[in-house]
Amino acid sequence: CFLAWMGLEINTMAIIPLMAQQHHPRATEAATKYFLTQATAAAMILFASTTNAWITGDWNIPQTSHPAATSLLTLALALKIGLAPMHFWLPEVLQGLNLTTGLILSTWQKLAPFILIYQIAPNTNPTILTSMGILSTLIGGWGGLNQTQLRKILAYSSIAHLGWMITILHFMPALTLLNLTIYIIMTSTMFLSLKSLSATKINSLAITWPKTPILTVMTMLSLLSLGGLPPLTGFMPKWLILQELTKQNLPILATIMAMSALLSLFFYLR
């Protein structure tokens, strides 16, 4: 557990210089906000693992068995990756970064905390995971509706996708990994396309069509795939997750998730 905490801290320290390399007040603000949230989450992780060791005598993360310790550890890791209701820092931080650093924050930085959540999920209360998942999908849908900044839209998309992954984590972990892989591929495509087009606002995408039609089409298809439009790849994990939730006798949960996906799709189509 101590080694995992140390790895997360090194991870945080390594990305902060990348965030602050632009000498711009917004970049400095993003780096400061990121550092404070990650430091808070790291302190919570240490506290949770110490509590578990105090009660059970075990420092191993997969063997974290005490309910208070597992709940606190899950909340700390949720804060690290930006799951609702601990998501407030993510759109603000992503908005202050350039597209390359934004890509690292949206993909690579999610892996370490997510693997830890994946390891402790069997011992975690499923209600906590499901509640955070539903809240994330709804907030990810609502939050992106009135945005014109592409980085903020991608941040809310990240929150919504994490919500889908967390909801199914307790029932079928393999689906979570599939969803994570597809999300990383799609988001990387999206960020790299936007970087090539030098686009940061929706209206700047509109004027790229005469210059690079093929790249613009690919960007649009990636956006629709992230939203989960049926014939595209991004629809597959959503479909499988809804199917699994229905099999687990959770039709109401599946319906709420599907409705929140429509919210996300609305702003992608726009």
Task: Determine the average pLDDT of the residues in 125-138.
Answer: 93
Statement: residue 64 has pLDDT above 90: no
DSSP string, the chain: -HHHHHHHHHHHHHHHHHHHTS-SHHHHHHHHHHHHHHHHHHHHHHHHHHHHHHHHS---STT---HHHHHHHHHHHHHHHT-TTS-THHHHHHHTS-HHHHHHHHTHHHHHHHHHHHHHGGGS-HHHHHHHHHHHHHHHHHHTTT--BHHHHHHHHHHHHHHHHHHHHTT-HHHHHHHHHHHHHHHHHHHHHHHHHT--BHHHHHTSTTT-HHHHHHHHHHHHHHHT-TTSTTHHHHHHHHHHHHHTT-HHHHHHHHHHHHHHHHHHH-
Q: What percent of the chain has pLDDT over 90?
A: 62
pLDDT given for residue 117 in this prediction: 92
pLDDT, greater one: 191 or 57: 191
pLDDT of residue 270: 67
Using one digit for the tens of pLDDT, what is the confidence trace for 80-127? Answer: 999 988 999 999 999 999 999 999 999 999 999 999 999 999 889 899
Band (pLDDT 50/70/90 cuts) for residue 237 is very high
Q: Given a cut of 80, is residue 269 above it in pLDDT?
A: no
